[in-house]
Amino acid sequence: MLRSLTLLPVGLAAAGLVLAAPAGAAPTGPSTAQQTIDQLQSEGYRVITTKVGAGSIDQCSVSGVRPGRDITELRAFPRGNTQEVVRYTTVYVDLACAR
């Protein structure tokens, strides 16, 4: 009985990891490169694009979306306290464009 109770938290933790859906910044469904960029910006991300090919953005498809980093700043509070606050989060959008 004691062994079963000891293994229960481990089993529950493993089940939580399996059931947890990965959170991604990439929008789902077919869309243009510009729609993808616009959606990410509307969600609060600062989008940085990398482009392969010389075509304009309407000739590009999204080949990848990668997480960036949080850009933070220190904010002063009363009594000399400071707190690090996230200003925005970057995301990288890779584009493959027609030449």
- Tell me, yes or no, whether 14 lies in a domain: no
Range of the domain at 77: 31-99
- Tell me, yes or no, whether 23 lies in a domain: no
pLDDT level of residue 4 (50, 70, 90 thresholds): very low
41-84 residue pLDDT tens:
999 999 999 999 998 999 999 999 999 999 999 999 888 899 99
Number of domains in the chain: 1
- β strands within the chain, DSSP E: 45-52, 60-76, 82-97
Identify the pLDDT of residue 78: 87
Write down the pTM of the prediction.
0.62
- Tell me, yes or no, whether 39 lies in a domain: yes
> Which residue type sits at 56?
S
- Tell me, yes or no, whether 73 lies in a domain: yes
- Tell me, yes or no, whether 45 lies in a domain: yes
- Tell me, yes or no, whether 13 lies in a domain: no
Identify the pLDDT of residue 25: 53
